Amino acid sequence: MRFPAAAVAAFTLLAVPAAPSLAQDRRLTPERMFAAPDISGPTARGVAFSPDGRLVTYLRAKPDDQTTLALWAVDASGGEPRRLVDAAALDSGEPLSEAETARRERMRISDRGIVQYQWDSQGRQILVPVSGDLYLAQVADGSVRRLTRTPGDEIDAKVSPRGGFVSFVRDQNLYLVPTAGGAERAITTEGRDLVSYATAEFIAQEELDRDTGYWWSPNDARIAYARVDETPVDVVPRFEIGPDGVAVSNQRYPRAGRPNAVVQLFVQAVAGGAPVRVDLGANADIYLARVDWSKDGRALYVQRLSRDQKRLDLLAVDPATGRSRVLLSETSPHWINLNHGFKPLTDGSFLWMSERSGFAHLYHYGADGRLIRRITTGDWPVRSIAGVDEAGRRLFFLASPDDPTQQHLHEVSYAAPAAPRRLTQGEGYWNATMPRAGAAAFVGSYSTPTQPPSTALYAMDGRRLRWIEENRVAPGHPYHPYAATAPNHQFGTIRGPSGATLHYQLITPAGFDPRRRYPAIVYTYGGPHVQTVTRSWNGAVFRSRLYSEAGYVVFLIDNRGSWNRGVAFEAALDRRMGVPEVEDQMAGVAWLRQRPFVDPQRVGVTGWSYGGYMTLLMMTAPDNGLAAGAAGAAPTDWRFYDTGYTERYMGTPQANLAGYDAGSTLSRLDNLTGRILLLHGMADDNVTFDNATRFMSALQQRGVVFDTAVYPGQRHGVRPPALQLHQWRTYLDFFARTLGGEGPPSPATSPVRSAAR
Tell me the mean pLDDT in the region 115-132. 89
**What is the pLDDT at residue 584?**
98
**What is the pLDDT at residue 114?**
86
Q: What would the pLDDT profile of 437-469 be if each residue is shown by its tens digit?
A: 767 899 999 999 999 999 999 999 889 999 999
Task: Estimate the share of the chain in helix, then strand, then coil, as percent rounded to the nearest 5.
Answer: 20, 35, 45
Tell me the mean pLDDT in the region 489-502. 97
**What is the pLDDT at residue 707?**
98
How far, in Å, are 115, 299, 458 from residue 321 at the CA level?
Answer: 37, 11, 45
**What is the pLDDT at residue 19?**
37
Tell me the mean pLDDT in the region 18-47. 77
**What is the pLDDT at residue 92?**
58
Is the model's pLDDT at 104 over the cut of 70?
no
Q: How far apart are CA 747 and CA 744, in angstroms?
A: 8
Question: How high does pLDDT run on average in the chain?
Answer: 90
Q: Exposed (0-12), middle (13-18) or buried (19+): which is 143, by Cβ within 10 Å? A: exposed
Q: What would the pLDDT profile of 67-98 be if each residue is shown by its tens digit?
A: 678 899 999 888 888 888 887 667 655 666 66
Q: What would the pLDDT profile of 461-470 be if each residue is shown by its tens digit?
A: 889 999 999 9
DSSP secondary structure letter of residue 18: P
285 vs 538: which has the higher pLDDT:
285
Q: How many residues does the chain have?
A: 757
Amino acid at 352: W
pLDDT band for 99, please (50, 70, 90 cuts): low
Amino acid at 279: D
Tell me the mean pLDDT in the region 577-596. 98
**What is the pLDDT at residue 14?**
32
Q: Mark whether 503 is an active-site residue.
A: no
The helix (H) or strand (E) run that includes residue 678 is strand 675-681
pLDDT band for 720, please (50, 70, 90 cuts): confident
Q: What would the pLDDT profile of 378-432 be if each residue is shown by its tens digit?
A: 999 999 999 999 999 999 999 999 999 999 999 999 999 899 999 999 889 999 9
Q: Where are the beta strands (DSSP E) in 63-200?
A: 65-75, 82-85, 112-113, 118-119, 125-130, 133-138, 144-146, 155-159, 165-170, 173-178, 185-186, 195-197
Tell me the mean pLDDT in the region 561-585. 98
What DSSP letter does each residue of 426-458 carry, written as one string? SSSEEEEE--SS--SEEEEEEEETTEEEEEEEE
Tell me the mean pLDDT in the region 300-310. 98
Q: Indicate which residue of 364, 477, 680, 716 is catalytic.
A: 716
pTM for the model: 0.92
**What is the pLDDT at residue 742?**
86
Q: How far apart are CA 225 and CA 291, in angstroms?
A: 9
pLDDT band for 589, please (50, 70, 90 cuts): very high
pLDDT band for 635, please (50, 70, 90 cuts): very high
Q: Mark whether 609 is an active-site residue.
A: yes
Q: How far apart are CA 730 and CA 608, in angstroms?
A: 14
- Phi/psi for 550 (5° steps) reads -90, 5
How far, in Å, are 217, 277, 290, 297, 315 from residue 269 at the CA level?
Answer: 10, 12, 20, 12, 20
Q: Where are the beta strands (DSSP E) in 400-542?
A: 408-413, 421-422, 429-433, 441-448, 451-459, 464-469, 488-495, 501-508, 518-523
Q: Indicate which residue of 558, 684, 685, 690 is catalytic.
A: 684
Q: Exposed (0-12), middle (13-18) or buried (19+): which is 681, by Cβ within 10 Å? A: buried
Tell me the mean pLDDT in the region 35-48. 90
DSSP secondary structure letter of residue 379: S
Is the model's pLDDT at 615 over the cut of 70?
yes
Sign of CA dihedral 625, 631, 637, 638: negative
- Phi/psi for 524 (5° steps) reads -135, 150
Q: Report whether 22 contacts 550 (CB < 8 A).
A: no
Q: Indicate which residue of 609, 664, 685, 690 is catalytic.
A: 609
Within the chain, what is the greatest distance between any pair of CA atoms? 79
701 vs 94: which has the higher pLDDT:
701
Q: Which domains does the chain have, with CATH numbers?
A: 43-186 (2.120.10.30), 192-307 (no CATH), 339-448+451-485 (2.120.10.30), 487-756 (3.40.50.1820)
Is the model's pLDDT at 231 over the cut of 60?
yes
Amino acid at 654: Q
**What is the pLDDT at residue 18?**
40
**What is the pLDDT at residue 747?**
63
Q: How far apart are CA 443 and CA 50, in angstroms?
A: 12
Tell me the mean pLDDT in the region 153-167. 94
Is the model's pLDDT at 7 over the cut of 50?
no
**What is the pLDDT at residue 20?**
37
Amino acid at 730: T
Q: Mark whether 726 is an active-site residue.
A: no
Q: HSE on the CB side for 650, CA within 13 Å?
A: 31
How far, in Å, are 346, 370, 376, 738 from residue 380 at the CA level?
Answer: 29, 25, 10, 41
Tell me the mean pLDDT in the region 352-362. 98
Contacts of 499 (CB under 8 A, 6+ apart): none
Q: Are strands 518-523 and 553-557 parallel, antiparallel or unpaired?
A: parallel
139 vs 593: which has the higher pLDDT:
593
DSSP secondary structure letter of residue 96: P
Is the model's pLDDT at 752 over the cut of 80?
no
Three-state DSSP state, 572:
helix
Compute the CA torsion angle 506, 509, 514, 520 (nearest 10 deg).
-60
Estimate to the nearest angstrom the gap between the alpha carbon of 411 and the chain centroid.
Answer: 25
- Phi/psi for 691 (5° steps) reads -60, -40
Estimate to the nearest angstrom the gap between the alpha carbon of 582 and the chain centroid.
Answer: 24
**What is the pLDDT at residue 403?**
96
